[in-house]
Amino acid sequence: MSVADGSPSGSRTPPVGPTPPGHADKMLSLPDIEELARQTLSPMAYDYVASGAADELTIGWNRQAFDRIKLRPTVLQDASQVDMRVTLLGDELPHPILLAPTAYQSVVHPEGEVATARGAGAAGAPFVVSTATTAPLEEIARVATAPLWFQLYVQSDREFTTRLVRAAEEAGCRALCLTVDNPVLGARNRQARSGFRLPAGALTPYLDDLNNGRRDLFTAERVAVTWKDVEWLRSLSSMPVLLKGILTGSDARLAVESGAAGVIVSNHGGRNLDTLPATIEALPEVVAGVAGRLPVLVDGGIRRGTDVLKSIALGADAVLIGRPYLYGLGTGGAGGVQRVVDILRRELELAMTLCGRASLAALDHGTLWNPPADYFA
Ligand SMILES: Cc1cc2nc3c(=O)[nH]c(=O)nc-3n(C[C@H](O)[C@H](O)[C@H](O)COP(=O)(O)O)c2cc1C
């Protein structure tokens, strides 16, 4: 085993993606790329991405909870060749990192979601397109080379929602991701203070309520969505339906009963209800509730390969990132998105090698210094 240059010998992963001219030394890690975005995006665009609800306590907790978890390495194992492949909903993925749905991407880059799809494809990461996309699905699908999923907000016009689900299926989306933690929009104080607005001429092709003036950018229409609607959505297309925004074991059990195809443990990146717990803290309870019957994904605060490793050790099948790839998009377009995923994937590979774990299946509670209960006591 040669580790002369700090990377595992025989690594099968390609080098990390491109950097914009003059920025190579500032884009070595996800925190670096966030700092570059802070310096180069307009304050309004940066705050749109970085901000959360109310006092933004949950945003901080998402990070702090990861930092409290320590790793337990095993030495003299041959983990020089690390296998990060994972099969999700029938698709084999090269690594367990997906791009979470994020709204209004043309705020951070003129090519918005189209550039993100290009970067996602180059990095082998599925991209979950938001209902609040500022590019039409056909344009995104035209450039996508990795799986696309579609994130759904149910809108008051059920016929419109039905047409939207069918449009997503026709565009080739592999899954529908129903966001369940957003019956109203949270108190977006910082976003409002920064004067959030869409670029002149920006489209929101799938936000019927916004386009028809039934809501503005700071208030989601109040639509009653319940467990019965999961069944309704399943009847509309053959796409598997995942539920995004599950935080408790009891909701995880209901998700299984509802026929959902997977759950995403998420607190919406701390953007809706402040003082929700960190997602990594909620993950073990959801994993126990699901009891192996569905895939479990998690997002919120993932900034390092060790965060991905910890998520999988605590029972997640895969993770999603939100803000980091928007910072990549804002600073480097498609190449910046690719670079963010590549860095995270490379860091995961390093962490697995250094922990002596050669596959994702080998990551379990034994990879953590203390049992999970101790971290969150
Ligand atoms: C700018 C921004 C816009 C978002 N828009 C959506 C959205 O349209 N639909 C949704 O389900 N989640 C949305 N989210 C939440 C993300 O899908 C994800 O849960 C969160 O960003 C993960 O946390 P992280 O940003 O710390 O990685 C958004 C997040 C951000 C940062």
pLDDT tops 50 at residue 9: no
Token pair 């995104």 in the structure block, residue: 140
Residue identifier of the C-alpha nearest atom 15 of ligand 1 = 268
- Ligand 1 midpoint to CA 86 (Å): 23
- 307-326 burial: b if 16+ Cβ within 10 Å, else e: bbbbbbbbbbbbbbbbbbbb
Residue owning the nearest CA to atom 1 of ligand 1: 49
Q: Using 50, 70 and 90 to split pLDDT, how confident is the model at 184?
A: confident
* Ligand 1 pocket residue status of 244, Cβ below 6 Å: yes
- Range of weakest confidence among 22-26, 59-63, 211-215: 22-26
pLDDT at res. 218: 79
pLDDT at 362: 97
List of residues 6+ apart from 165 with CB closer than 8 A: 150, 152, 176, 233, 236, 237, 239
In angstroms, what is the C-alpha Rg of the chain?
20
The reply to whether ligand 1 has any atom less than 6 angstroms from the CB of 102 is yes
pLDDT in the model for residue 173: 98
The pLDDT assigned to 223 comes to 83
How many residues are recorded in the chain?
A: 377
pLDDT at 2 over 60: no
Cα–Cα separations (whole angstroms), residue 372 to 66, 116, 159, 275, 283 = 11, 35, 45, 20, 10
Domain 30-375 is of which CATH architecture?
Alpha-Beta Barrel (3.20)
Atom index in ligand 1 nearest the CA of residue 181 equals: 11
Residue 374 has what pLDDT?
67
Task: Collect all residues with Cβ–Cβ distance below 8 Å to 361 and sequence separation of at least 6.
Answer: none
Is the CB of 100 within 6 Å of ligand 1? yes
Residue 90 contacts residue 73 (beta carbons within 8 Å):
no
Q: Read off the pLDDT of each residue in 105-134 and give the average, rounded to a whole number.
A: 98
pLDDT the model gives residue 214:
79
Give the residue extent of every domain in the chain: 30-375
- d(CA 286, CA 279) in angstroms, rounded, equals 10
Secondary structure (3-state) at 60: helix
Q: In whole numbers, what is the pLDDT of the chain averaged over residues?
A: 92
pLDDT, tens digit, for every residue of 310-334? 999 999 999 999 999 999 999 999 9
Report the separation in Å between the CA atom of 338 and the middle of ligand 1, taken as the mean of its atom positions.
18
Q: Which atom of ligand 1 is nearest to the CA of 266?
A: 19
- pTM (2 decimals)? 0.94
Is 185 close to ligand 1, i.e. is its CB under 6 Å away? no
pLDDT in tens, 202-232: 989 999 878 888 778 877 777 889 999 999 9
Ligand 1 atom closest to the CA of 244, numbered from 1: 11
Query: What crossing angle do the helices spanning 323-355 and 43-50 adopt, rounded to 10°?
Result: 50
pLDDT (tens digit, 9 = 90+) per residue, 243-268? Answer: 999 999 999 999 999 999 999 999 99
Q: Which residue, chain included where needed, has tokens 């020089």? A: 80
Query: From ligand 1's centre to the CA of 99, what distance in Å?
Result: 9
**237-to-169, 228, 232, 256 alpha-carbon distances in Å:** 7, 16, 10, 19
Which pLDDT value is given to residue 243? 98
Chain segment 331-352, per-residue pLDDT in tens: 999 999 999 999 999 999 999 9
How far, in whole angstroms, is CA 236 from its chain's centroid?
25
Res 222: pLDDT:
77
Q: What is the dihedral of CA 104, 108, 113, 116, to 10 degrees?
A: -140
Q: Enumerate residues 6+ apart whose C-beta is below 8 A from 282.
A: 247, 248, 265, 267
Q: How far apart are CA 336 and CA 350, in angstroms?
A: 21
